Amino acid sequence: MPASRWFSMVLLVLAVAASGSTSRAGEHAKAVFAGGCFWSMELAFEKVEGVVSATSGFSGGSLPNPTYEEVSAGRTGHAESVEVVYDPVKVSYQTLLDHYWKNVDPFTANAQFCDHGPQYRTVIFYGTEEEKRQAEASKRSIEQSKRFNKPIVTQIERAAQFYLAGDEHQDFAARNPGQYKRYKVLCGRSDRLEELWGKS
């Protein structure tokens, strides 16, 4: 085979491979998780290297454009959630899942720590079948570890519309560190997470 033709074929193969890549530099992906108080989940995910942003909002309900007051009343079906924008070159979806589990109590239905109601339930909202597979595998891995004697009640659901919470809820912990710290301590969040997963 002439060298020029061989070189052309190599370039073609490389081009095809590049076009099928799902983790090109500069491209961002999104993931949505519900884990109780969205102030806490937002803060937790913003600490992960490769996460570009974490935004507080609502997902999983039926009422369009719900307000915080409507969701808090537990009548819309939404869960307080965070939309995580991340760079898949720097952090994998699997790593986000691992971080998610370590920041929730997956054994308590319709509640997280001192917050009670379906709006505080734990949900992994998957956007693709691959995300669903990874989420289910990560849940199964915890169950099969036999570390806990309770069933995991965290739901794995197809991603629904994500609605932003008001500006007063965005970066709440960073903007109101004293108020957030009091909430976190009084709610028993840190103690329960350490009981479940050990010291972070």
- Complete DSSP assignment for the chain: --HHHHHHHHHHHHHHHHHT-S--TT--EEEEEEES-HHHHHHHHHTSTTEEEEEEEEES-SSSS--HHHHHTT-S--EEEEEEEE-TTTS-HHHHHHHHHTTS-TTSTTEETTEESGGG-EEEEESSHHHHHHHHHHHHHHHHTT--SS----EEEE----EEPPGGGTTHHHH-HHHHHHHHHHHTHHHHHHHHH---
Residue 20 confidence (pLDDT):
34
pLDDT of amino acid 21: 34
Do the domain assignments include residue 15?
Answer: no
For residue 150 the two structure tokens come to 């309770």
| 84 strand-pairing partners | 31, 54
The pTM assigned to this predicted structure is: 0.86
Q: What is the pLDDT of residue 94?
A: 98
Q: Which of 31, 32, 34, 37 is catalytic?
A: 37
CA distance 78 to 104: 18
Domain-located, residue 3 = no
Give the per-residue pLDDT at 194: 96
Report if residue 8 sits inside a domain.
no
Residue 126, phi then psi, degrees to nearest 5 = -90, 145
User: Does 14 map to a domain?
Assistant: no
| Residue 10 domain-assigned (yes or no) | no
**Number of domains into which the chain is organized:** 1
- Residue 199 confidence (pLDDT): 86
Is 146 contained in some domain?
yes
Mean pLDDT by 10 residues, the chain (200 residues): 41 34 71 98 97 98 96 96 98 98 98 97 98 98 94 97 97 96 95 92
CB 51 within 8 A of CB 91: yes
Whether 37 is a known active-site residue: answer yes
CATH of the domain at 149: 3.30.1060.10
* Residue 81 to residue 92: CA distance in whole angstroms: 20
Residue 185: inside a domain: yes
**Residue range of the domain that includes 78:** 24-197
